[in-house]
Amino acid sequence: MDTEAIILVTGGNRGIGKEVCRQLAAKGQAVILAARDPNKGEAAARDLQDLPGLVTAIQLDVTDPASVERARSEVEHRFGHIDVLVNNAGIDYDTDQDVLTADLDRVRRILDTNVLGMWVVTQAFVPLLRKSDHPRIVNVSSEAGSISHIESWAPGYSTSKAAVNAFTAILARELKRDGFLVNAVCPGWIATDMGGPGGGPLPEGGRSVLWAIELPDDGPTGGFFQNGRPLPW
């Protein structure tokens, strides 16, 4: 990975997304911090302004195709290309639901953000990634979506992350011949607004994502990892 890569992070204004932006900016990378709420995005970028890398906030709501297209156009105009897309935006760790009584309108909202939002953003930004010599796509997933280890809690969230893993595998096969590295990453249970206070330290989750961003060109693709170690599908 180039020392001055251009990296777009969705959901970059808080939690894992903001921590990934922080770690990248600390290494001098050019970071595009994408957030649904432009005010929160600008505030997060200001928090990181003293780091060596340039952090630029843009508005991007992954559930709104018009917003995604505006963001793509803005990024193309300002940067010309990107080297890495980090699909991090996600919602609703619905541990208060069970599969038989789940509110399906709520589940649809989860799938719309966590799966279809990731899909539409990827479709929009692959043309800009094709202009990179080292294109990477990192999909932030969760071990909750591992079919091998799946539990009955958080049915909407777990289903969404299983779908993210399937999307990652399909996408990796589609783009392998073009030199892309496409992987799913589980940051682990981290103390964020969504993860709750019982999780691990935020920098640890960020480092798990950075591992996939910084893979060498001959690194793995189409895998599911945590802290650089393969996880079962």
pLDDT of 2 strictly over 60: no
Domains in the chain and their CATH numbers? 6-230 (3.40.50.720)
- Distance CA(103)–CA(49), nearest Å, equals 41
By CB neighbour count within 10 A (0-12 exposed, 13-18 middle, 19+ buried), where does 147 fall? exposed
Q: Mind listing the pLDDT tens digit for each residue in 85-127?
A: 999 999 999 999 999 999 999 999 999 999 999 999 999 999 9
Helices and strands (H, E) in the chain, number of each type: 7, 8
State if pTM tops 0.75.
Answer: yes
Annotated catalytic residue within 18, 27, 93, 161: 161
**Helix, coil or strand: residue 64:** coil
Based on the residue annotation, tell me whether 93 is a catalytic residue of this protein.
no
Tokens of 163: 């779908």
Which residue, 199, 224, 201, is CA-closest to 211? 224
Q: Mind listing the pLDDT tens digit for each residue in 138-177?
A: 999 999 999 998 988 899 999 999 999 999 999 999 999 9
pLDDT greater at residue 153 or residue 230: 230
Percentages of the chain per state (helix, strand, coil), in multiples of 5: 45, 15, 40
Based on the residue annotation, tell me whether 157 is a catalytic residue of this protein.
yes
Annotated catalytic residue within 27, 131, 157, 176: 157
